[in-house]
Structure 1
């Protein structure tokens, strides 16, 4: 009965969220969409069905939280552009009578930025930071698993601050015999606690995502496809005066509208202790490539290897001819250490 009430309340909250969505304004807290672990970054930046034994994936889909992840600590650092860096920490622990829980912290640091007045004189420097703290839990119903991730997000832009209380709701179906996972996530539903200014009307980065991962029985590859931006009616932008400069004279058609919503990933599972990962994000490629050079925009790759209790992962995502981002991650299994104490 308690689970039924919880599900009903969640559905009402989701319905209210989409009923009150507005077309105008701008979306705040977009940093929540950055890939906060090496697996995500290597698989195209979006993936909700791969990584059952990777605690970092809990923030991507809370339904992937399970008891095999208990006592695991994950530390990840994304080196972004212009010395911007995102640091993530995740820890999974059991709580007596309440199941397995995951605690996660994201901290995005833009560094120190110079401040100038209207006349162009230097006023000093100010800092810009954004961060989010979340708590996740999940429940099992046979081959199905559902989970929720409650988070507080804060954006601190010099003298302007905004905060929000957000909820991710996810579900997965894990095939009982085959290596097949189907999942969905409704991300970042909730409400603003405070906005940057009284007159501002910031929107939340709400999204619905669907995904599937499958590993053929006699192949060392796992393939993934994830659909995102499913709450948006249009994900293409076409300005004839601007696009003609890049040789794009025709407005994107229906096929392009579909393809830009999809993110593709593949993992070469050489052994339980070593993997190679690859991803392709068509939306990123179409939006960031140049006419004569793409710089590999939209492609990403990485690897993972384990040594006893430690797991190390690295990924690189290509965005533009000027370069890309690098992500380093370390997973530490504290199960034996915790039990001994």
Structure 2
């Protein structure tokens, strides 16, 4: 037990040493939840290591022996007519675990007009990222992993290419039903930006996100709790915008004190696990609530809910995430193990 807490403390110290300040980043779609279960977990979890291959999108070290031959398809109906989704397949080679995936976002169709508001036609905007994941199991419950993510983005005639790298580590102790994870996500750069200035490419930074999490299942109750800390590379998570060339802090975040700001870095999740083939999840993301809450309105922003069931050889998942008043996001997942169909 002493060794376990030393590991957690080491992860925390490493993460806190990288606290910085907020910046403006591109390829924000990389931070969207890639499955119904991850959506129900409040958008992220880097610690839970089971047979759900979709968690490897969050932390490649969450690939396991059980993710071999797992195939998953995911679709989300986002807000304002935006849709996104992902697919992933796992293949293991001894203690070397691999997975191959892609996730995308389609922002829909837009009207193209000239300066006089004459309609010239329509255009689309889309982002894509390929995920090539690798993890290696180490002694004493440790696993490390990495994900290479080539990125392509096109908004009308404006295109961008980039690459990102995720690094992850996980510690799992099945004897006490405990796991901890650390992920450094979206390390990378743009090869080409969306436009040039005086012949020079305008390149933007990627949405770096350092996350630390723990998961603990109870012995005598069908419950599992998870705590995920996100954006550990920067302390101030206040939403900021520019007005007339001056940076303005959102009124939702202006009064944030130390404990409120600390709370914004956390996502709390509880799972109800009455049967190995059924689960219910609820979570709370304080940062999302503070960003999305509306004055004079009570909303469920910040909360997420989901459930999953295995029917025959298929795992079916659904999640619901309220954002602002009247804006809900729905996420659907269909997964199966190809080994159950005779594929080796």
Provide the C-alpha distance between the structure 2 equivalents of 1:328 and 1:207, rounded to a whole number of angstroms.
25
Q: 1:98 to 1:198 in 2, by over 3 A?
A: farther
Select the residue among 248, 255, 259 that pairs with 1:251. 255
Unpaired runs of 5+ in structure 1? 1-17
Q: Which residue of 1 aligns with 2:167?
A: 169
Find the residue that maps to 1:218 and give its secondary structure. Answer: coil
Provide the C-alpha distance between the structure 2 equivalents of 1:243 and 1:160, rounded to a whole number of angstroms.
30
Give aligned pairs, total: 317
Select the residue among 130, 134, 156 that pairs with 1:133. 130
Find the residue that maps to 2:300 and give its secondary structure. Answer: coil
8 A Cα contact 2:319 2:332, kept in partner: yes
Are 2:60 and 1:56 equivalent residues in the alignment? no
Runs (4+) off by over 3 Å:
21-24, 237-244
Find the residue that maps to 2:80 and give its secondary structure. Answer: helix
Shift of residue 238, structure 1, vs aligned partner: 7.5
Shift of residue 111, structure 1, vs aligned partner: 1.6
Provide the C-alpha distance between the structure 2 equivalents of 1:238 and 1:111, rounded to a whole number of angstroms.
26
Shift of residue 51, structure 1, vs aligned partner: 4.8
Unpaired runs of 5+ in structure 2? 1-17, 242-246
Find the residue that maps to 1:283 and give its secondary structure. Answer: helix
Shift of residue 287, structure 1, vs aligned partner: 1.2
Shift of residue 98, structure 1, vs aligned partner: 8.2
Q: Which residue of 1 aligns with 2:152?
A: 154
| Cα-to-partner distance string for 1:236-295 (whole Å, 9 max, x where unaligned) | 247999866x7x8x6211011100010111100010011000111101111111122132
Q: Which residue of 2 aligns with 1:191?
A: 189
Select the residue among 64, 83, 86 that pairs with 2:84. 86
Q: 1:274 to 1:176 in 2, by over 3 A?
A: closer
Find the residue that maps to 1:83 and give its secondary structure. Answer: coil
Q: 1:313 to 1:202 in 2, by over 3 A?
A: same
Task: State TM-score, norm by structure 2.
Answer: 0.87
Provide the C-alpha distance between the structure 2 equivalents of 1:58 and 1:242, rounded to a whole number of angstroms.
34
Are 2:317 and 1:313 equivalent residues in the alignment? yes
Are 2:271 and 1:260 equivalent residues in the alignment? no
Provide the C-alpha distance between the structure 1 equivalents of 2:180 and 2:305, rounded to a whole number of angstroms.
23
Task: State TM-score, norm by structure 1.
Answer: 0.87
